Structure 1
């Protein structure tokens, strides 16, 4: 499978007899230089076709569609890429389009049918997510231009966290900064945290609205979330996705005075320091080798000391974040690992649990090595004081289901 496409999905053309075509949802995830898509039947969960238009507005622009193959589309922009995607869909009927939007600010506490007012509010959040929201607006407008007859829905990464209480989302800053500039903690990865929490409730045979769990979404971006009775109570990311855990290229939490220190000591300006914290830090910065955990684990096994350091920092900071989130709960029914690292890296889960001795987890190494696949996700022993599960995420399916829900009369 092409590494740029959504992991975990088997792509094939489905026999029309097995798929309820009237429910097909086109899911769009638009970045600044890419446009990722998938057509999903939210009822059967089957993916009919998916792909990505990448390196847009460059001579190397490429459209990759599975199962159809790749096509060079030099210098193509988002609108024309959307038209190319439309052409690739052939005769597959679409009932609606769901758009992933990173930041909904305080405007949106749930998914919403898109109109001009909603698009304007998404655009108004561009200062809160300058790398994401402008691209989302571009993608939404391109999709509306190419699919004017279809309903469009926005599903927000921040929406699930709008249930956080004020003591969890306020910074200890002058209150006017919140009133005037909406400076507060928002949180991200909400669709993933919500999905795996609902899946965990099923696996644990407990009502979602009575469950108290901590979910850890670990990929290139990482965040953890405390969920109580079906609602987000706290999460590690904040105003932007930079806050919180150590990540692939992001530093996570640092002393705020570090920015001024680096400006004065290194000659960088504020924008360059911010870029360093977002793009050159985390696993990549510590190791000097890679932001890919698989590469670092292999290097550490071969004696690479800085790869070992990066892994240690990652796991310790994750455990520290998990224990901090416990303050939002009365108990921890389960700890959930998800995302590319969380689902596939047994060593990272083991190292993280080793830092959580206060919660008394007892890891079953065989179950952990099998990623919990044969025990409803469980990787701890049946008598472990802390239950830990591996639950695969599927953000695209959440977006498809949310879109279908809003399209129903």
Structure 2
């Protein structure tokens, strides 16, 4: 079975084509600047090198059409006919409390995703455009949606509700949803396979630390809490997102700066976090370089960044009455050696003992903790696309029975 996985943003389309027989990636790339000037697709070739192809893509329909063209190209693709694609799987950021698991796309499902646009206006609108583009170009190919917040749907009400009048939850669905669920799901399952343990017996804290970042507490295979909230803005300090902040500080700044609600939301999402503190960049590699050159604000940003991750790990260890495994994943979690070391240092009370030599690695599966550490600290590169492909295959095979 061949599965095409699409992750459609407001102006981008990431794609991966899988042969599910061996879960082999046949073709992959990323279309960027859709609807803007100088749109292009960055294609990963069979030898691992990348090539940029300029192509005008006014809408997602043209973007998806060009992706299909590339999949049929002898140099960039792996198909002779689009009929070889058995199904298309999509990442959907916000499923609200309407969707607690992956499902095959129907008119009702599409309407449900559309009804949640207010909760994730940029993301869900982009996802819908991708869904509809595929439907227009390949109307007989089944599509599956995998929701970013679905893995977090096991959180108990006392963890996901905000302390505001209950009617706001009933009327407006205001609650903690959490995101990066597909990643948290993959790495929590994969780490148990690596260590030869049953996920249903483990207390796991998964740290998805990238430009967007979140932490999840997973007890006996189920999420009991996660750091992101109604939107991906809550929780940790991130590349350009503020993370947790006193709501009164927000209204105070709105008055001082004369900002409207959407302007303030943009400010907290795009101009805050590491970027806001340093004034340099939202890229942690640049911040680490600046710190090494003696920039005091870069050093402060790293201290703030690491401290907040440490604080969430401690809170979730308390919530689960202990922790057996801590997993690091995503761009920073997989590659920034100093962040992992500084966060996991001075946590002897939890039984964490790091091994400096083991921690000196990037982007590969590895146990980072010492042999005598009571808590296993492990690096697991994430693979959200394979989770989407597996869910898609499973649902399509079930539907064919």
Shorter-normalised TM range:
over 0.9
Distance 1:266 1:358 in 2: 44
Indicate the residue corresponding to 2:75 in structure 1. none
Match of 1:45 in 2: 23
**Which residue of structure 2 aligns with residue 262 of structure 1?**
253
Return the alpha-carbon distance in structure 2 between the equivalents of residues 404 and 281 of structure 1: 40
Once the 2 structures are TM-superposed, how far is the Cα of residue 207 of structure 1 from its aligned partner? 1.1
Q: Which residue of 2 aligns with 1:159?
A: 150
Secondary structure of the residue aligned to 2:89 is strand
Instruction: Measure how far apart 1:221 and its partner are.
Output: 0.3
Structure 2: segments with no counterpart, 5+ residues = 73-78
Query: What is the distance in 2 between the residues matched to 1:205 and 1:263?
Result: 51
| Structure 2 residue 139 is matched with structure 1 residue 148 | yes
Residues 258-297 of structure 1 mapped to structure 2, 5 A cutoff: 258-297=249-288
The answer (yes or no) to whether the contact 1:372–1:378 under 8 Å persists in 2 is no
Q: 1:63 to 1:177 in 2, by over 3 A?
A: same
The residue aligned with 1:5 is: none
Equivalent of 1:299, from 290, 297, 309?
290
TM superposition shift of 1:269: 2.1
Match of 2:233 in 1: 242
1:127 has 2:109 as partner: no
Measured after TM superposition, the shift of residue 356 of structure 1 is 3.0
Helix, strand or coil: the match of 1:26? strand
TM-score normalised over the length of structure 2: 0.93
Structure 1, 62-71 or 200-209: larger mean CA deviation: 62-71
Equivalent position of 2:96 in the other structure = 105
CA distance in 2, matches of 1:45, 1:283: 37
Matched, 1:325 2:286: no
Once the 2 structures are TM-superposed, how far is the Cα of residue 41 of structure 1 from its aligned partner? Answer: 2.5
Q: Aligned pair 1:89/2:71, yes or no? A: yes
Using structure 1 for the length normalisation, give the TM-score.
0.91
* Range with bigger deviation, 248-257 or 47-56: 47-56
> Is the 8 Å Cα contact of residues 248 and 283 (structure 1) preserved in structure 2?
yes
In 2: Cα distance, 1:97 partner to 1:60 partner: 27
Q: Considering only aligned residues, what root-mean-square deviation do their CA atoms show, in Å?
A: 1.4
Deviation larger for 82-91 or 333-342: 82-91
Say whether residues 1:77 and 2:68 are aligned partners: no
Deviation track 1:238-266 (CA, whole Å, cap 9, x = no partner) reads: 10000000011100000011121011112
Is the Cα–Cα contact under 8 Å of residues 334 and 363 in structure 2 kept in the other structure?
Answer: no
Distance 1:323 1:147 in 2: 49
The number of aligned residues is 385
